[in-house]
Chains A and B, each alone.
Chain A
Amino acid sequence: MTQAPERYMGNGLPRKEDPNLVTGKANWTDNIKLPGMVHMSMLRSPFARAKVTKLDVSAALERPGVVAAFTGADLAEEWPGGVPCAAVVSEEQKTPFFPPIVTDEVRHVGDVVAVVVASDRYAAQDALEFIEVDYEPLPAIVNMEDALKADSPLVHEDLGTNECFTYTANVGNTDELFDRTDDSGDAGAEIRGPEIQGQGDTDEAFRQASVVVKERYIQQRLLPTAIEPRAAVAYPDPGHGGYVIYSSTQVPHLAKIVLSLATGIPENQIRVVAPDVGGGFGSKLNIYREEILAVVLAKTLGVPVKFVEDRSENYQATIHGRGQIQDIELAADSEGKILGMRVKLLDDMGAYLQLLTPVIAISGGAMFPGVYTFDNFSIEIKGVFTNLTPTDAYRGAGRPEACYAIERAMDSLARELDMDPAEIRRRNFYEPFDEPTANPAGLMYDSFNLQGALDRAIELADYQSLREEQRRRRESNDPVQLGIGFATYTEICGLGPSHALAGLGIGGGGWEVASVRMLVTGKVEVATGTSPHGQGHETSWSQIAADVLGVTPDDVEVLHGDTGIVPFGRDTYGSRSLAVGGIAVYHAANKVVEKGKKIAAHMLEAAEDDIEFEGGKFSVAGSPDQNVGIGDVAGAAYLGNDLPEGMEPTLNETMTFDPPNFTFPFGAHICVTEVDTETGAVKIRDYIAVDDCGPVINPTIVDGQLHGGLAQGIAQALYEGVIYDEEGNLLTASMVNYMIPGAPELPNYTLDRTVTPSPSNPLGVKGVGEAGTIGAPPAVINSVVDALSPMGIRHIDMPASPMRVWKAIQNAQGKPSGDRQEDASLGASAADIKQGGDA
């Protein structure tokens, strides 16, 4: 009797990754010890902007244990390319030279002035204090709007401007639409009534426009805060003549290229290994000056060099996320149907361009229309240099910004039209579709059914009962008010089609590679170009390969994160791994089966067309007893002495998958908050998330990704925010001052799924790593504002701390709320509360 093959895809198998991690056997970069290894420590600037007028490392060289000390001038010839940026978003983009060690001027607190190499970290750190350095402090540019003023000092004088780029896109008649409706050109969050109704314009769409909402939102800077700080070990490879770099990175393959470009060391002499990596969230999707320095020092000194940052360095020198001022306008008709959207963004680059800094806002720009269909859309994005830590991709990378703006504006539109926030969303949804459909910015959404997700979320939330409870609390003047906040979102995942990435200005393809090797013993090796750091690829890829090959996941070993073992790959970021890399595994495994059929046909003396494959067995159609297992086929392929004429030995297939389109997961979130109007404290009572990421390979892992993503989204909404003072000093420079939410701050989640397959790949999968981080911030803030809307409060900036909520309430009631310095980087334009008071 033939047993039906077990199907592993769709099962929440416990992870194969866990045993090492729960027993303390993981291989973190900081664990690596090599003979003769030395440690490097950086002297970092205490000023946001200053000339270095004197620099002498000679006293440091005299300290115990010190092996070497270098200035930027000493090593400048070793990094002809500087720290490379892979993104060019416009012809006029200004890309400053980014030296691993500066030679003249420091441009942010934490900028690198010199490096000391010593026998251990303690000795290296001690010696830093003996470097003689004089600074001439200069006025720092900490605020984007100030940076763009004509008389502003310049972050990079040689560039002649603080404007990195201006990017514009225009679809339809947006300017005409808004020029007609926009009578004052004022900025700041504001909602205006149907003033333009019946003005008799010739433009049909415009004649219908009866309401415009005009808002200003702030995306505060965030610290990605992978719990493992960055670390790297670089050493000359004695057998090979090149260099090996272990790094806590998401992108070993990109690092290999970038380290070669930066140092001039040929790419084929560099091997990069990402061992166990303790979280990334985008912050390790970069090749940092310290990694370049480690390679340069290993080359210069001929010994292994280790770099491990501490948390304060991580907060000063690892990229920050977000940092955006958003002006968004929506025009709609009296029924709430959106007619057009106009967006202007200022995006904070910081002092230099890291790997993808300029493209983050651009890639998010096309997502501002969200899940709503309309015709007229325009966007202008300015990238601005400041004397602050560079920004780059942080979980969501452009999409949380876009989703927040449209989802907040939708609530304002609903309020203006006195319409239920769920209803206004429905009126603008796409009809469900399963073939690519253009959004107003020209992206081809792959498949949607927002109605299904929203219906389910509303059902799970028991929405009508919540509104009832809200009404009761309002009527009884309950000091604790109830808020109900919606976010219906989509995100762009599965980065990505190479031609589309080129269109965004990203250098490098978006394909992914997998090799599936049947070993002579019947075991399977899957080599993947993705580079997991918590996502569980070893488990999920095993499930995919096991199902295709008819083996068990335990028969499959997944290799990753080493350019010496997996030579080609594009690594892990942008929720791309499953929808591109997992699909490459699927295709490669199918290629194994196809070749296996030829071998089986030969072994069974049957025609290839008659061979069927199921449950790990090749059999002759109609004669199931004539069969051979895939392990035996693999053995025959390996021995190679009895194969079909002309066939290459081994069962070892590689697939490079370049997807035809991105994927667009979507979903509906409802956040229920209790807001204490006396203290400003916000408690999330329930969080309902109905997400659609297509078919699910491992539901346990998917739920885990959602939990973590939601946690980071809630963190942005309620807790986290970088604070700089007016001199550009980072005040949130350690975990003591930066509010990472702990277990008591976060809720449990009510999760459910709808399943709408993507036409972009044969498994229909979409990706899930960032969904929660994208949906949560607007859902939470919409909820808080909903709770307080009877007071006339229409907006509270993130993070909606008790202090900010309390101030909003005080202001709304015409009471004093005190004056407290907030973040200076966005502060001048991010006045706490836009409505009802002192701003």
Chain B
Amino acid sequence: MRRIQVSVNGVAYEHEVEPRLLLVHYLREGLNLTGTMVGCNTSNCGACTVLLDGESVKSCTLFAVQADGHEITTVQGLQTNGDWHPMQTAFHEQHALQCGYCTPGMILASVSYLKENPNPNEEDIREALEGNYCRCTGYENIVKAVQQAAGQTS
């Protein structure tokens, strides 16, 4: 077991964890933050995407111990004083989700990407989201949502 200190959604935690414990399981089982899901176990689908110090990472392919000393943001930490992040609003308004299972990861990957490139074109957005699979929407409305959020945040 190893002791880790992490900040998740602004709350400081300190836990003893098995070295092999995946970050996603630490978040889900350890902290009961079930907004982050497992979809593929091979870091292809991106359902487990969270922000590590503001950058998107796939929490099914990181160990909890690798998050030691870092700040994690999950979808449950995106709201500010109860208000949705513009990306959450955009996903809702553009009908960019159906079953919603990929949505938290998709939203976090998009939030992270817009920090990198605040004014992307459609092709940029499609390339940027290649690591996040959605099986329901065919992506068109997801791209529109990211464009909407980019227009509001840039």
Contact with A along B26-64 (1 / 0, CB 8 A): 001100111111111110110100000000000000000
Q: Which of B127-154 contact A (CB under 8 A)?
A: 127, 129-143
Contact with A along B68-84 (1 / 0, CB 8 A): 00000011101100001
Q: Which of A270-292 contact B (CB under 8 A)?
A: 276-279, 281
In the complex, the answer to whether A22 meets B129 with C-beta atoms within 8 Å is: no
Does B115 interact with chain A (Cβ within 8 Å)?
no
Question: Contact partner of A227 among B75, B134, B140, CB < 8 A?
Answer: B134
In the complex, the answer to whether A23 meets B98 with C-beta atoms within 8 Å is: no
CB distance from A446 to the nearest CB of B (A): 27
In the complex, the answer to whether A227 meets B47 with C-beta atoms within 8 Å is: yes
Residues of A within 8 A of B65 (CB): none
List the B residue with the shortest CB-CB distance to A536: B98
Q: Pick out which of these stretches binds chain B: A51-59, A473-481, A735-743.
A: A735-743
A740 to B45 CA separation, bound complex (whole angstroms): 9
Given contacts A279-B135, A744-B130, A22 and B45 within 8 Å (CB-CB): no
A226 to B39 CA separation, bound complex (whole angstroms): 9
Q: Which of A710-756 contact B (CB under 8 A)?
A: 710-712, 734-736, 740, 742-744, 746, 748-749
Residues of B within 8 A of A364 (CB): none
Residues of B within 8 A of A227 (CB): 39, 45, 47, 99, 101-102, 133-135
Question: Contact partner of B99 among A279, A310, A742, A749, CB < 8 A?
Answer: A279
Does B23 interact with chain A (Cβ within 8 Å)?
no
Most chain A beta-carbon neighbours within 10 Å: one of B103, B129, B131: B103
Does A19 interact with chain B (Cβ within 8 Å)?
yes
In the complex, the answer to whether B135 meets A744 with C-beta atoms within 8 Å is: no
List the A residue with the shortest CB-CB distance to B74: A24
The majority secondary structure among interface residues of chain B is: loop
CB distance from A250 to the nearest CB of B (A): 11
A23 to B97 CA separation, bound complex (whole angstroms): 12
Given contacts A25-B35, A743-B130, A14 and B95 within 8 Å (CB-CB): yes
Contact with A along B88-117 (1 / 0, CB 8 A): 100111010111111110010000000000
Does B126 interact with chain A (Cβ within 8 Å)?
yes
CB distance from B2 to the nearest CB of A (A): 15
Does B8 interact with chain A (Cβ within 8 Å)?
no
Does B125 interact with chain A (Cβ within 8 Å)?
yes
In the complex, the answer to whether B140 meets A278 with C-beta atoms within 8 Å is: no
Most chain A beta-carbon neighbours within 10 Å: one of B28, B79, B126, B140: B140
Most chain B beta-carbon neighbours within 10 Å: one of A18, A24, A278, A310: A24
Residues of A within 8 A of B95 (CB): 12, 14-15, 700-701, 703-704
A276 to B103 CA separation, bound complex (whole angstroms): 13
A323 to B132 CA separation, bound complex (whole angstroms): 28
The majority secondary structure among interface residues of chain A is: loop
In the complex, the answer to whether B101 meets A279 with C-beta atoms within 8 Å is: yes
CB distance from B74 to the nearest CB of A (A): 7
In the complex, the answer to whether A18 meets B91 with C-beta atoms within 8 Å is: yes
Most chain A beta-carbon neighbours within 10 Å: one of B98, B123, B125, B142: B98
In the complex, the answer to whether A17 meets B100 with C-beta atoms within 8 Å is: yes
In the complex, the answer to whether A22 meets B97 with C-beta atoms within 8 Å is: yes
Does A838 interact with chain B (Cβ within 8 Å)?
no
In the complex, the answer to whether B136 meets A24 with C-beta atoms within 8 Å is: no
List the B residue with the shortest CB-CB distance to A705: B98
Residues of A within 8 A of B47 (CB): 227-228
Does A139 interact with chain B (Cβ within 8 Å)?
no
Residues of B within 8 A of A279 (CB): 98-99, 101, 135-136
Residues of B within 8 A of A229 (CB): 38-39
Most chain A beta-carbon neighbours within 10 Å: one of B34, B129, B142: B34
In the complex, the answer to whether B141 meets A24 with C-beta atoms within 8 Å is: no
In the complex, the answer to whether A19 meets B42 with C-beta atoms within 8 Å is: no
Q: Which of A98-156 contact B (CB under 8 A)?
A: 120, 122
A89 to B33 CA separation, bound complex (whole angstroms): 47
Question: Contact partner of A228 among B99, B137, B138, CB < 8 A?
Answer: B99
Does A225 interact with chain B (Cβ within 8 Å)?
yes
A352 to B45 CA separation, bound complex (whole angstroms): 29
Residues of B within 8 A of A740 (CB): 44-45, 133, 135
Contact residue range for chain A? 35 or more
In the complex, the answer to whether A24 meets B104 with C-beta atoms within 8 Å is: yes
List the B residue with the shortest CB-CB distance to A707: B138
In the complex, the answer to whether B140 meets A748 with C-beta atoms within 8 Å is: yes
A749 to B127 CA separation, bound complex (whole angstroms): 18
In the complex, the answer to whether A534 meets B39 with C-beta atoms within 8 Å is: no
Residues of A within 8 A of B101 (CB): 26, 28, 226-228, 278-279
CB distance from A128 to the nearest CB of B (A): 16
CB distance from A32 to the nearest CB of B (A): 9
Residues of A within 8 A of B141 (CB): 704, 707
In the complex, the answer to whether B84 meets A23 with C-beta atoms within 8 Å is: yes
Residues of A within 8 A of B143 (CB): 743, 748
In the complex, the answer to whether A278 meets B133 with C-beta atoms within 8 Å is: no
Given contacts A28-B34, A704-B98, A711 and B139 within 8 Å (CB-CB): yes
A768 to B41 CA separation, bound complex (whole angstroms): 32
Residues of B within 8 A of A533 (CB): 99
In the complex, the answer to whether B41 meets A312 with C-beta atoms within 8 Å is: yes
Residues of B within 8 A of A24 (CB): 33-36, 74-76, 104
In the complex, the answer to whether B76 meets A278 with C-beta atoms within 8 Å is: no
Does A30 interact with chain B (Cβ within 8 Å)?
yes
A26 to B101 CA separation, bound complex (whole angstroms): 9
Given contacts A24-B34, A24-B36, A742-B132, A19 and B92 within 8 Å (CB-CB): yes
A231 to B40 CA separation, bound complex (whole angstroms): 14
CB distance from A273 to the nearest CB of B (A): 17
In the complex, the answer to whether A311 meets B41 with C-beta atoms within 8 Å is: yes
List the B residue with the shortest CB-CB distance to A120: B29
Question: Contact partner of A534 among B41, B84, B104, B136, CB < 8 A?
Answer: B136
CB distance from A229 to the nearest CB of B (A): 7
In the complex, the answer to whether B100 meets A311 with C-beta atoms within 8 Å is: no
Residues of B within 8 A of A749 (CB): 138, 140
Does A535 interact with chain B (Cβ within 8 Å)?
yes
Question: Contact partner of A708 among B75, B91, B98, B127, CB < 8 A?
Answer: B98
Does A184 interact with chain B (Cβ within 8 Å)?
no
In the complex, the answer to whether A23 meets B37 with C-beta atoms within 8 Å is: no
List the B residue with the shortest CB-CB distance to A248: B101
Q: Which of A193-251 contact B (CB under 8 A)?
A: 225-229
Does A21 interact with chain B (Cβ within 8 Å)?
yes
Question: Contact partner of A743 among B79, B100, B135, B139, CB < 8 A?
Answer: B139
Most chain A beta-carbon neighbours within 10 Å: one of B35, B107, B125, B132: B35
Residues of B within 8 A of A311 (CB): 39-42, 45
Residues of B within 8 A of A742 (CB): 126, 129-133, 139
Question: Contact partner of A278 among B29, B91, B99, B132, CB < 8 A?
Answer: B99
Contact with B along A523-543 (1 / 0, CB 8 A): 000000000011110000000
Most chain A beta-carbon neighbours within 10 Å: one of B21, B37, B122: B37
Given contacts A24-B35, A24-B74, A736 and B44 within 8 Å (CB-CB): yes
Question: Contact partner of B88 among A23, A708, A712, A746, CB < 8 A?
Answer: A23
A772 to B98 CA separation, bound complex (whole angstroms): 16
Given contacts A21-B103, A24-B34, A279-B135, A743 and B42 within 8 Å (CB-CB): no
Does A465 interact with chain B (Cβ within 8 Å)?
no
CB distance from B32 to the nearest CB of A (A): 8
CB distance from A630 to the nearest CB of B (A): 30
Given contacts A19-B92, A25-B35, A534-B98, A734 and B135 within 8 Å (CB-CB): no
Most chain A beta-carbon neighbours within 10 Å: one of B21, B32, B100, B122: B100
14 A–B contacts, CB within 8 A, in A order: A21-B100, A23-B78, A30-B28, A30-B37, A227-B101, A229-B39, A311-B39, A311-B42, A701-B95, A736-B44, A740-B133, A744-B127, A746-B139, A749-B138
Beyond the given pairs A120-B29, A311-B45, 19 more chain A to chain B contacts, judged by CB atoms under 8 angstroms and listed by A's residue number, are A14-B92, A20-B100, A22-B100, A22-B104, A23-B84, A24-B75, A28-B101, A122-B20, A227-B99, A535-B98, A704-B98, A708-B98, A708-B137, A712-B135, A742-B132, A743-B130, A743-B142, A746-B138, A746-B140
Q: Which 5 A-B pairs have the closest CB atoms?
A: A24-B35, A278-B101, A21-B100, A534-B99, A711-B138
